[in-house]
Amino acid sequence: MNPIRVMVVDDSVVVRKIVTDVLSADPDIEVVGTAVNGKVAVAKLEQLKPDLVTMDIEMPEMNGIEAVRAIRGGQGGREYSRLPIIMFSTLTERGASATLDALSAGANEYVTKPANVGSVGQSMESVREQLIPKIKALTGRPVTAGPVRAAAPAPLPPVAPRTGPGKKPAVLVIGSSTGGPEALARVLPLLPATLPVPVLLVQHMPPVFTRQFAQRLDRLSPIRVVEAADGSPLIPGTAHLAPGDHHLVVRTHGRAPNANLQTGLNQGPPENFCRPAVDPLFRSVVTAYDGAVLAVVLTGMGSDGRNGAAEVRAAGGTVIVQDQASSVVWGMPGAIAQAGLADEILPLDRIPEAILRHLAGVSPARSAAAILSGGVR
């Protein structure tokens, strides 16, 4: 298999060298060239023919966001309009906002630049741990080390039979990672403000980013979207996004018969190399809602959510996953599908309708238009 051809775009000589040295040390990756800004990068696409581009955000002449828009618009050649692009971002409010702009413009993923590290060696290790698994995942290569291990493609098994009747959902939970910001931005705006259940979201993201992302989703969506806080009541039509570096769970507050459900945050150990992680949320809602759960897993690397999905189905809940063709990376949804745990495997544009259908407790034959026109009851 030929090495993955990568172009490194950054106006900093130091960053270009760190990234180039890290990537060149991996036998599966070849750095075919560099560029000092977006304008040069777009001009070099036809010459270098990269399989993937790493892109800084703040650069002179043409910044990273403008470069992403140019590439997606076909300026580097129409064949590169789907070229995987990973942004290099700073872990700041401004960096988070710019990164989300880049993802909205069509970038596939991002990594954060090393901050407050003591040596070039530590910077290189930080870049290596973050960047190489994402490069391999976005180019469809197996990852043999680190936090991501891609499963070999295999025919999907039949869906595991249920041991008991399914339950009408009383809560909606959604997990996502690579490609998730754009996927969520396409799903949540199609959920009505009259949604009859609370929503809990886990998107693998660092602190600062989640606050900005929740604000963006809130602006886009009829439902209310907030970055989750500890101890918030769970009410229909409000979505709680797990904050960076915290697991989000549901807990019971008070004693029966007046007990109520609320959000809980903790910094327990990372699961599946992630915090926040999907599995802790899925486990907690199964307990809190006695299995009356609709779980959705969208595009993402790794297998976070697979164990939680097994618990959801075992308790009578329903699991929907995004299909391979519409996923940026079919890791998380693929792991669930390949374990026979997905009740439905759907393209992204059909997932909002499926959510409304399951919440309404109607058959798959009923159309999205009928559900939306009649409301969800």
> What residues act catalytically?
177, 204, 304
Dmax over CA atoms of the chain, in Å, equals: 69
How many Cβ atoms from other residues are within 10 Å of residue 58's Cβ?
17
Single-letter code of the amino acid located at 74: G
**Parallel, antiparallel, or unpaired: how do β-strands 52-56 and 109-112 relate?**
unpaired
Q: 11 near 60, Cβ under 8 Å?
A: yes
How far apart are the C-alpha atoms of 92 and 49, rounded to whole Å? 32
What region does 361 belong to: left with phi over 0, alpha with psi -120 to 50, or beta?
left
Phi first, then psi: give them for residue 21, nearest 5 degrees. -65, -40
Beta bridge partners of 297: 175, 321
Q: In terms of C-beta distances under 8 Å and separation of at least 24 residues, what long-range contacts does 77-84 make, across chains too?
A: 77/45, 77/46, 80/45, 83/45, 83/50, 83/51, 83/52, 83/53, 84/51, 84/52, 84/53, 84/108, 84/109, 84/135, 84/138, 84/139
H or E segment at 253? strand 247-253
Which two structure tokens, joined as six digits, stand for 280?
């802790």
Where helices occur in the chain by DSSP H, the ranges are 13-24, 38-48, 64-72, 93-105, 120-138, 180-187, 209-220, 278-288, 306-314, 332-338, 351-360, 368-374
How far apart are the C-alpha atoms of 107 and 68, rounded to whole Å? 6
Residue with tokens 């290099």: 88
Class of residue 304 by CB neighbours under 10 A (exposed 0-12, middle 13-18, buried 19+): buried
Q: 262 near 251, Cβ under 8 Å?
A: yes
